[in-house]
Structure 1
Amino acid sequence: MIDAERLKKNWSLVASHGDQVPLYFYSTLFLTHPETRDLFPMNMAAQRDKLVNALGAVVSNVDTIDAVVPTLQALGRDHRKFGALRGHYPAVGEALVATLEHFSGPHWTPAIAADWTAAYGLVSATMADAADAAAHYTPAWWDAEIVAHERRDLETAVITLDPGNRIDYLPGQSLSLCTSLRPRVWRQYSPANAPRADGTIELHVRAVDGGQVSTALVSLVRPGDHLRVGPAFGTGLTLRPGRGPVTMIAGGTGVAPMKALVEQLAAAPRPTSLYWGARSPAGLYCLDQLRALASAHDWLEFVPCVDEDLFGSESRLGSPVELAVAHGRCSGADVYLCGPPGMVETGRKHLAGSGIRAEAIHFEPTGE
C-alpha cells in the first residue's frame, strides 16, 4: 500500500532543491545507462523542466491514480516518438530513486524507497502497456510535407502540412512536431482546423524568444521540407457535449484550436462567442479568416480585441477575458481558454473571480 502523504512530503523536500534535482537525475541516468542519451535532445535546458512537472503531477495524483490513467496512457503512446521502449523504463526508475535518495538525505527510509518504487512501477507499467498496444495499430510518428508556408508577420507563420495519411485527432488536441533542423526537440502545436478529408493540417506558429523549434518553423523551413509529427495529445480543450452556449477566449496563436472547434461546431451549432486578443491590430494575423467564418455562421459571434489601438481599427479595446465577462458571455457557458501561459493563468483567475464555475472553464495545462 502506497502512503500518498509520505510521498508528497518527501517530494516537497526534494523539490526544494530546485534545478539541482533534474541536473542530478539526468547525470545519473546518462552515466549509468549511456544508451538512453540518444533519446533526448542535445540541449537539455527545456527537458529539465519537464521532469519536475511530470514528477509533481504523479505525486499529486498517486492516491487517485485511476484518475490520471488516461493521461499516463496518452503519455506512453506519445513517448514512442522519442524511441522510448519498455526496456528503458527501469533505467529511468533507478535514476529517479537514486535522485530522490540523494536529496532526501537523512530523511530517506526503506519505507519511502518502497513507496517511490511502487508508485513509479504503476506509472511506468501503465505507460509501457499503452505504448505496446499502440504499436499494433498506429506509427510512432508520421513524416509530413510542408505544402504551404505563409509568413503573416515577422514572428508568425501559417503552415499547411500533408502527412500523406489522415492523422486521427480531435479539434482542440495538440500534435507534437520535430524538424531535422532541431533533432530530437519536440514541441506541441494545436491544429487550426478540424480533420479534413484530404488529411492536410493547418498550424499557426509564433516564434518565441529562445524557441528552437518555433524559430525554425517560422524562419527556416520552406514548402517541400518535411516535419516529423507525433500522435494527438491532450483533452483540455476538446469540445464538451451539450447544447448550451460556448465562449472561446484566445490570445495570439491560441486562436488556432478555437478555429478548429468552430469548424467542429458547424456540424451541430450552438450559440458561440469567440473573443481573440493581441497587443495591437497587427497581431491579429488571421482577422479576415475569422470574420469570414462569423459571416458564414449566424450562431457565431466574433470579437477581436487589442490592448492598444493607435490607428482606429474596429477591434475592441481591452483583454478578451475581461470583455467576454463584461459582455455577459461567460455566465452559463462552457468557456474555452487558450493563449500564452500568463494569459491563461490570469484569465482563469478573472473568470473564477467573476463567479464562473471551475468545471465550466476548459484549458490545456502547460507541460508535457
Structure 2
Amino acid sequence: MSNLSQLLKESWVLVEERHDDVAAHFYARMFLTDPGLRQLFPVHLDTQRRCLVEALVTAAASIDDPERFTEYVQGLGRAHRKFHVQPSQFAAFHGALLEALRTVGGDRWTIEYDQAWADALGLLTSNMITGLEQDADPAFWHAEVLAHERRGADIAVLTCQPLQHPLRYQAGQYVSVEVPRYQPRLWRTYSIANAPRPDDTVEFHVRAVGAGWVSSALVRRVRPGDLLRIAAPMGTMVLDRESPRDIVCLAGGVGFAPIKALVDELTRFNRSRWVHVYLGARHRDELYDLDELLRLAATYPWLNVVPCCTDDPSWTGEHGEVSEVLARYGPWHEHDFFVSGSAPMVRASLRTLAELEIPADRIRYDSFGDI
C-alpha cells in the first residue's frame, strides 16, 4: 500500500461514521461557491449524498491501481455529462469536498491528511474532466418505452428504443435513467437486461420499493409511448471472452438483469464453457423471469440454473440465501464469478466467495439499492 493510500484510509476512518455530515457540508459549500450548480441537481439530495460517499470510497480504494482508478473515475466524468457539468465547475467540487473533509475531521485532521486528499482530489477531478471532455457520445439518449409488462405488484420489465443514436454498451453494464415526465433531474442506475440487439432496443427490470421515486414511476406510472433519458453506459461486469474458465453467476431479485444480459451474450458464441446461474429471491413469485431462464437452459446444454428461495415454505427447490446454496455445491476454484443484487446480497456473496478462497481477480460484481 502506498503512503498516499495509507493516509487516505487512515483519514477516512475519522469521518466515516459522519459521512452524511461530509456530504451535507460538501453540497452546501459547493452551491454557495457556485450557485449556478444547484439547478443541475434535484430538490432532494439524499441519493446524491450516498453516491458521493460511494464514489469517494471506491476511488480511494483503487488509487494504487492506476488502470482501475482511471477507468472508474473517467467513467464518473462521462456520467456527469448528463448534468451538463462544465470542466470549469470542478474547481468548486474540489474545494468544497476538501473543506467538508477538513471540517468533519476536526482537530484530528492533520496537515498530512489534508495534503493526501488534495493530491487525491486533484487526480480525481483531472480524470473526471478527461472523461467528460473525451466522450464523443451524447450526454444522454432519449428513449421511447415500447413495452411495459408488470411482473407482480412491484416489478416491471420495460423495453425501450433509444432515439437518434444507437446506445453502444456491453452485456453486463448499467446506465442512469431519468423519467422527465414524472421525476425530472432524478437519475437512478439500472442494468440493461439484454446483450446489444440489431434493433438497438434495451430491456430494464425494475422493482419499486418504499419511497423510490424513480423506480415507483417506472413501475407504476410509465406507459408505452413515454420518453426516458438514458445516460452513458458504465460498469465492468462484462465477459472476458479469452478466459477458458467456466462461469458462475449469483443473482438476487432484479439483480438478475445484468446476469440475463451475460447469458444472452453467451448464447451467441459459447460452445465450451459451463455456465451456472444461482438465482435467489424470498418467494417464488419474485423469481419473475425464471420461466424464461429455464427455457434457455433447456435450449443450451451448457447452462445450469439453480433457483432458491428464503421465505417460501411451499417452494420445493433449494432453500436459503443464494450464497448459502452456492456453498453446497462446487468445487469452484477454477471458475469466473459474476455477482449482482442488493448491497446486502452482494456483501454476503463476496464473504462466501472469500471463505471458498476464490481469487478476487476472478470476481466481478455490481450492487444496487432499491431506489
For normalisation by structure 1, the TM-score amounts to: 0.91
Question: Aligned runs of 1:127-146 on 2, under 5 Å?
Answer: 127-134=128-135, 137-146=136-145
Q: What is the CA–CA distance in structure 1 between the aligned matches of 2:57 and 2:191, rounded to whole Å?
A: 24
* 5+ long unaligned stretches in structure 2: none
Q: Which amino acid aligns with 2:42?
A: P
In the TM superposition, what whole-angstrom CA distance separates every residue of 1:162-195 from its partner, at most 9, and x where no partner exists?
0033211111110110111111111111111100
- The worse-fitting range, judged by mean Cα deviation, of 234-243 and 210-219 is 234-243
| Contact 1:273–1:329 (Cα < 8 Å) also in 2 | no
Kept in 1: contact 2:141–2:230 (CA 8 A): yes
The SS at the match of 2:185 is coil
CA distance in 2 between partners of 1:9 and 1:355 (Å): 27
Aligned ranges 1:59-208 → 2 under 5 Å: 59-107=60-108, 112-134=113-135, 137-164=136-163, 165-180=165-180, 181-208=182-209
CA offsets per residue over residues 70-113 of structure 1, 9 Å max, x none?
11111111110111110110011121222233234445566554
SS of aligned partner of 1:185:
strand
TM-score between both structures, scaled by the size of structure 2: 0.91
Does the CA contact (< 8 Å) of 2:255 and 2:340 recur in 1?
yes
Aligned partners of 2:90 and 2:150: how far apart in 1?
41
Aligned residues: CA RMSD: 2.2
Q: CA separation in 2, counterparts of 1:357 and 1:122?
A: 29
CA contact (8 A) 1:237 1:364 kept: no
Please give the alpha-carbon distance, in whole angstroms, between the structure 1 residues aligned to 2:354 and 2:314.
33
Q: Distance in 2 between matches of 1:317 and 1:109?
A: 51
Deviations 1:319-339 (A, max 9, x none): 332223312263421121111
1:15-67 deviations in Å (ceiling 9; x for gaps): 34342221111111112211110121110112112222222333344455454
**Which stretch shows the higher mean deviation, 241-250 or 168-177?**
241-250
- Greater shift, 152-161 or 280-289, is seen at 280-289
Structure 1 residues 365 and 107, CA, compared in 2 at 3 Å: closer, same or farther?
A: same
Higher mean alpha-carbon deviation, 140-149 vs 326-335, is at: 326-335
Q: Deviations over 1:281-335 (max 9, x none)?
A: 111111221111111111111122122444455x333333222331226342112
8 Å CA contact 2:7, 2:112 repeated in 1 = no
State the distance in 2 between where 1:63 and 1:219 align.
44
Q: Which string of whole-angstrom CA distances, capped at 9 and with x for unpartnered residues, describes residues 190-216 of structure 1? A: 111100000000111111212111111
The answer (yes or no) to whether the contact 2:245–2:336 under 8 Å persists in 1 is yes
User: How far, CA to CA, are the matches of 2:214 and 2:270 in structure 1?
Assistant: 36
Q: Does 1:293 align with 2:296?
A: yes
Kindly provide the amino acid, as one letter, of the partner of residue 168 in structure 1: R
4+ residue runs of structure 1 moved beyond 6 angstroms?
A: none
Q: Distance in 2 between matches of 1:256 and 1:7?
A: 34
- Do structure 1's residue 277 and structure 2's residue 280 form an aligned pair? yes
CA distance in 1, matches of 2:346, 2:72: 21
